[in-house]
Structure 1
Amino acid sequence: MPKALRIVIIGGGIAGILLAVKLGQRRQQHQAQVTLIDKSPTHIWKPMLHTIAAGTRDVQQQQVIFLAHARDHGYTHQPGEMLGLDRERRLVHLGAITTLDGGMVLEPRSVEYDVLVLALGSQANDFGVPGVKDHCYFIDSQQQAEIFNQALRARVFRGVARDEMLRVAIVGGGATGVELSAELSRLLEVAAAYGDPAIRERLQLTLLESGPRILAAFPPKISASSQQRLEQIGFHVRTGTHVSEAISQGFRHDSALVEADLMVWAAGVKAADFLNGLDGLETNRVNQIVVAPNLQSTRDDRVFALGDCSSLRSPGSERALPPTAQVATQQAEHLGRHLPAWLAGEPLPDFVFRDFGSLVSLSDYDAFGTLGSFGFFRGGFVQGRFAQLSHAMLYRRHQQALHGLRKATLLWTAERINGLVQPKIRLT
């Protein structure tokens, strides 16, 4: 009996876990062993991280445990963090696994592959601004979101005990910065019902964006509407503001200082630093793997890259596809659909992105979006409850893709029931 091909997927984000599910469902067709490697034991839908950071969602309800999910969906999971690659020997090098106190669990090791898929996601880009790594929180992973939430709850408690202002400054007017801002306001509005009616009034939040408008990747109407709504909530939005330094007291820009107790850096996007020129693969200035239209890396047809860690320029476009959940989902679905046939010797078709629009949700306050280039209302502007429902349905579709309709429905039902009997925000 011939040896099964080894498909190794690095990264359990949106693209990675979805591809593992798609290939696992078709394992009888391609006769390959699918392995998903991620340094975290759990998956969280990345566009939800700002709610985990604010504490307005229960992380225990939303996370997917890889080991249990892999058992039910035909792939295997290995914990580990990729540190390097040997393309000649087809080896992925993984770092050591240690306990929180530094104890050794598993030494550095290597994993063999026949086909490698890099789906490592992205992170905020500090652009080398002094002090950012020392003084700022990042919201790029579940662990970072939970660390910020711990600091936030400590500051809120201190503000209640001492009747102090809570000064928050966020750099980056993209979706993460904008949605986190609104979620923090919602958090304190709900918290006011737990003993301190004035708690929301003590929130002083400033959103700093270097460009001429927030949500630069969205149509201008969404940017303008979102900024107006944030200012109505009571926040300061400063565009055209270039932060030069982060210090313990806040952010410096020009000759001014924006004072803050909590500082969040949500500006820019880049792939992991170790991907830069990884074993000769072509990368761009933000460490993304440059891929051909069929999602193969340009220098090795056995190495693919998906989602935020890849760079693909569509025909006729001057820019690469944006690092969004929509792109990552479509790329995973494309490769999941066509990779088994490619393994059998058939050509791999090019990926074609279909823009279904953009949505941004300002917690329970409002939501704005466009409906994209497809559908009956193509290009239409939406806001309010319909936009909020559309935004919520993005996550529900992701759950259905990972679990199937029956389990996804049960998960949604359980979440609704828990919402009736549990606090609406994280209190401990």
Structure 2
Amino acid sequence: MHRFIVVGGGAGGLELATRLGDRYGETRAKRGRPHASVTLVDRYPTHIWKPLLHEVAAGSMDPFTHQLEYAAQARWHGFEFQQGELAGLDRAAKRITLGRVYDEDGAEMLPERVLEYDTLVIAIGSTTAFFGVPGAAENSIALDTVEQAERFRKRLIAACVRAEHRAPERVAPDAAADAPNIAPNAATEAEPRVQVAIVGAGATGVELSAELRNTAQVLSAYGLHNLDPRHDVGIVVIESGPRILPALPERVSSATAELMTKLGVRILTGERVTEVAPGVVRTASGKAVRADLTVWAAGITAPGVLSKLDGLTVNRLGQLVVRRTLQTENDDNIFALGDCAACEWPGHERGVPPRAQSAHQQATFLFKAFGDLLAGRPLPEFTYRDFGSLVSLGHFSAVGNLMGGLIGGNMLIEGLFARFMYMSLYRLHIAALHGYARMVLDTFAHWLRRTTLPRVKLH
């Protein structure tokens, strides 16, 4: 019986494990179908679609109603779940080591374990890169996990409540020119009572800024604070490059910047952050931006454990270097997908981009390729298809570009249609995990729940 192990329960890893379990797992074996052992490994017990973490941070999504229990998914789809963090790899013996798991009180819950495999898929995603900036890791919040997103949300509410009982600060006319975090005409106006600084204007930073504007309005409407949600709650996005959304086409960047400005989000481009201190973000040009809360969304890197895995080749970002078959360069029995894999993209200078659609396409590819593997046929080569990118600006709007096979070109979209397309991406992920019938029911259930709940999680 062939043993598949998928390490990492993100978008790609969980979709792959689910489909392998449906095809080769225990339920299929009972019907006389080919049988294989499928095991999913993740350090957390639950899954949430990572592109939604900015909504969790803003409070517009309750993570506990959208989380999926890995153990339940395993039971429903014929695979096994093992909780634990990848700690080691023995390629000669074909086995991985999982680290100990501790409960909330620090007591050991699961011991160190060893799992044996025939085919190993590593899909552990990425983590925030602080680039060695002094104070960034200590004085800012990343959005890699639900816990971090929830911590930011609670701190934002607390900051608004505290600010309501603090006298507003006035800016002296002779100091306005030396206060780069205040608009030029603000010499006689009050500073924002609460200011959030977002370092990095990629998709996460941009989407969070728009969601926070909505959050400030809802918190005020429900009486958690009496601040003016537009003038008393300041949002500043700091980007080292010349424009926001540097990975997307310039016209998408320009349209998004225009919409952000209308929402009252201040954008600082060409400002490289050199230090994050308590209450302030400093840049290379000498600016000191006041920040009651700082979010770091300036880049990603591969988890450090990848560079310690028994001689597997990694690139300068720490990603596992894979061939077009998604097999690692050093071992035909080890595959990698998603953000942690460096895969060639023929015809492009850069490799396959670290996006959710990349992980989804690679998971679909490996599911089909493993059928060839079990049948003893040669493995096909993966080809990435870029269908465009979408950026959500909360319930206000969305901006993006559609390209490739969908429309036969490249088209800028925004507004309601773009918002619908963005929301459909998550629904397609749910369909990949549960099927289209359950996806429709899940969509209706969440819509019904939202009719009886506030638009933002208040506590």
What band does the TM-score fall into relative to the shorter chain? Answer: over 0.9
State how 1:117-196 maps to structure 2 within 5 Å: 117-162=121-166, 165-195=193-223, 196=225
Q: Which moved more, 1:136-145 or 1:320-329?
A: 136-145
Q: Deviations over 1:183-240 (max 9, x none)?
A: 0101111222112453413111111111111111111011111112112211211111
Q: What's the counterpart of residue 246 of structure 1?
A: 276
Q: Does 1:414 align with 2:442?
A: no
Q: Any idea what SS the aligned residue of 2:72 has?
A: helix
Aligned residues: 425
Cα distance change of structure 1 residues 89 and 417 upon mapping to structure 2, 3 Å threshold: same
Segments of structure 1 that go 5 or more residues without pairing to the other structure are none
CA distance in 1 between counterparts of 2:147 and 2:254 reads 32
Give 1 or 2 for the bigger CA radius of gyration.
2
Q: Which residue identity lines up with residue 403 of structure 1 in the other structure?
A: H
Q: Distance in 2 between matches of 1:45 and 1:346?
A: 34
Partner of 2:261: 231
Contact 1:172 1:265 (8 Å CA) reproduced: yes
Q: In structure 2, do the counterparts of structure 1 residues 14 and 163 end up closer, same or farther at CA, with 3 Å as the change threshold?
A: farther
SS of 1:224 mapped into structure 2: helix
Q: Percent identity?
A: 43
2:396 maps to 1:399:
no
The residue correspondences of 1:241-390 to structure 2 (distance < 5 A) are 241-254=271-284, 255-376=286-407, 378-390=409-421
Aligned counterpart, 2:107: 103
TM-score, normalised via structure 1 length:
0.96
Give 1:343 deviation, angstroms. Answer: 2.1
Amino acid at match of 1:108: E
Q: Distance in 1 between matches of 2:377 and 2:395?
A: 49
Aligned to 1:72: 76
Aligned equivalents of 2:247, 2:104: Cα separation in 1 = 38
Q: RMSD in angstroms over aligned alpha carbons?
A: 1.4
SS of equivalent residue, structure 1 residue 152:
helix
User: Does the aligned pair in 1 maintain the 2:164–2:226 contact within 8 Å?
Assistant: no
Give me the whole-angstrom Cα distance separating, in 1, the residues matched to 2:166 and 2:403: 49
Tell whether 2:44 aligns with 1:25.
no
Does the 8 A contact of 1:30 with 1:343 survive in 2? Answer: no
8 Å Cα contact 1:22-1:337 kept in structure 2 = no
Cα distance in structure 1, aligned partners of 2:89 and 2:155? 36
Q: Which amino acid aligns with 1:191?
A: L
| SS of residue matched to 1:355 | coil
Shift in Å at residue 15 of structure 1? 0.5
**Structure 1 CA distance, aligned partners of 2:167 and 2:36?**
61
Task: Give, in angstroms, the shift of residue 386 of structure 1.
Answer: 0.4
Structure 1 match to 2:41: 37
> Does the C-alpha gap of structure 1 residues 32 and 220 become closer, same or farther in structure 2, counting only changes over 3 Å?
same
Whether contact under 8 Å (1:191, 1:199) holds in the other structure is: no
CA displacement at 1:410 relative to structure 2: 1.2
| Cα distance, 1:163 vs structure 2 | 6.1
User: Separation in 1 of the partners of 2:161 and 2:80?
Assistant: 42
